[in-house]
Amino acid sequence: MERKLASVVVIDDIAPIPGADMIEVATVKGWKLVIKKNEFKPGDHAVYCEIDSFLPVIPAFEFLRKSSYRKMGETEGFRLKTMKLRGQISQGLLLPINVLTTNAYELGEDVAAQLQIVKYEAPIPAALAGIMKGGFPSFIPKTDEERIQNLSAFYDTYLAHACFVTEKLDGSSVTYYHRNGEFGVCSRNLELTDTPENTLWKVARKLDIAGKLAALGKNIALQGEMIGEGIQGNPYAQHGQAIYFFNAFNIDTQEYLSMPDFLALIRDNGLQHVPVLDTTFQLPATMDALLSLAEGASLLSPAHGKVEREGLVIRSADRRISFKVISNKFLLEER
Ligand code: ATP
Ligand code: MN
Ligand code: MN
C-alpha cells in the first residue's frame, strides 16, 4: 500500500479563518489546509497533495519556493510540511484540477507520477541502509500504517471497537523473519545482506533474534522500530540501539497474530514491544478530539527532558482496524 501523495479529491468544506481576510480553510477528507480566498468552492474537484510530497521545480510551483524549497540528495524541489497560518493548522496543498494534462480523471485517482511528485525522504545513514540482498520478501506485508485523515469515511464504524493504543516511535522499520530454516533481515523496503557493519544485523545478533525465531518452530516474522544512536537524530537520547516490536506475522497462515498473542510472544522471548498506552480504548466522537489525544510526551522521553511523541498507532485486538494518528505538535516541530 503505497501512499497516494497526490490524488483527485472533492473539496468537502470551506470555512473562514477568524481575523484573516485573504485566506480560508478547506477540508478534504480528514485534512485541513489553508487556501487563498475564492480560489475554490465546496464540491470542486481538485488535486490534493499530502504532506511529504516533493514537487518538481517548474514554473507552476514557484509560488512554493519561499516556504518549501529543499534539496533531496542532489534533486531540488518543494517539500510540503505541516504549517500553522493565523493559528490554523495547514497540511498539504490543493491545486486546481486543470493542472492535470488530461481532461479524463477519476475521483481518488493517483496523479503523483503525472505531476512528477515523489515522497520526500531524509537521507539514510550508510550503516542503516546496508547492502541490498533483494527486494522486500513477497511473503510478508510491509510495515505501513494508514493515516486516520485518509480514513475519515470509516471513522464512525470504528467507534464501537475497543482498541489497543501504542506509541508510535520515530525510528527505522525492521523486519526479522525465519522461513524454512532461513533467517532474514529487512529494512523498510529491502532485504539486507549480512555484513558486520549493518546496524539491523548487529542488533539481531545482540538479541539472538535468529535463535529465538528458530526456537518457535514455525515460519514467522517479527516487525519493530529500531531507535537509538544514528537513527532519526536519536530523539529519545538512547545509548546504542534498541528495538521495540509492534507486529508478529505467521508466514504459513499469512495472518498477523492478534494483539494479545503478539504481546505475550514478545514478553515470553525477553524482547521489548512498543509502549502500550491502553488496551480498551474507545475512539472519541470526533477526529479532531483524537488528533488532540495523539499529542503528548513520549514514554521514552529521556530523564533530562520531555520529547513530543510522534503519535499513536491504534488497532483492534484482531488487527482488522489499524491506523496511525500523528501528533500535529510533532509535525510542526519536525524539520
Ligand atoms: P509515511 O510518513 O510516508 O507514512 P513512513 O515510512 O515514515 O511513511 P511512518 O509514518 O513512520 O511511515 O508510519 C509507519 C511506520 O511506523 C511503520 O513502518 C513502523 O516502522 C513505524 N512504527 C513506529 N511505531 C509503531 C507502532 N507503535 N506500531 C506500528 N508501527 C510503528
Ligand atoms: Mn517512521
Ligand atoms: Mn513518517
Whole-number pLDDT of residue 1:
62
The pLDDT of residue 144 is above 70: yes
Summarised one tens digit per residue, pLDDT across range 248-259 is 999 999 999 999
Average pLDDT over residues 46-52: 98
Average pLDDT over residues 2-7: 93
Q: How confident is the model at residue 101 (pLDDT cuts 50, 70, 90)?
A: confident
Among the bound ligands, name the one nearest to the CA of residue 334: 3
Whole-number pLDDT of residue 259:
97
Q: What spacing in Å lies between the alpha carbon of 224 and ligand 2's midpoint?
A: 11
Pocket test for ligand 1, best of 54, 142, 147, 225 (most atoms within 8 A of CB): 225
Average pLDDT over residues 96-113: 94
Q: What spacing in Å lies between the alpha carbon of 267 and ligand 1's midpoint?
A: 22
Q: How confident is the model at residue 89 (pLDDT cuts 50, 70, 90)?
A: very high
Q: What domains can you pick out in the chain, each with its CATH number?
A: 6-119 (no CATH), 126-333 (3.30.470.30)
Residue 223: CB atoms within 10 Å: 22
- Sheet strands side by side (includes 276-281): 146-147, 322-326, 311-316, 163-168, 276-281
Indicate which residue's Cα is closest to atom 8 of ligand 1: 144
- Give the bridge partners for 43, in sequence order: none
- CA dist., res. 136 & res. 163, Å (int): 29
Average pLDDT over residues 102-107: 91
Average pLDDT over residues 250-271: 98
Q: How confident is the model at residue 103 (pLDDT cuts 50, 70, 90)?
A: confident
- CA dist., res. 250 & res. 162, Å (int): 24
Ligand 1 atom with the smallest distance to the CA of 167 is 27
The pLDDT of residue 195 is above 80: yes
Pocket test for ligand 1, best of 4, 136, 144, 249 (most atoms within 8 A of CB): 144
Return the percentage of the chain with pLDDT > 90, whole number: 96
Count Cα neighbours of 169 within 13 Å in the Cβ-side half-sphere: 30
* ipTM surpassing 0.85: yes
Summarised one tens digit per residue, pLDDT across range 213-250 is 999 999 999 999 999 999 999 999 999 999 999 999 99
Q: What spacing in Å lies between the alpha carbon of 144 and ligand 1's midpoint?
A: 6
Mean per-residue pLDDT over the chain, rounded: 97
Q: How many DSSP H helices and E strands does the chain contain?
A: 8, 24
- Say how many residues make up the chain: 335
Return the percentage of the chain with pLDDT > 70, whole number: 100
**Coil, helix or strand for 295?**
coil
Cα–Cα distances in angstroms (integers) from residue 231 to residues 132, 178, 306, in the given order: 19, 25, 18
Whole-number pLDDT of residue 2:
77
Whole-number pLDDT of residue 213:
98
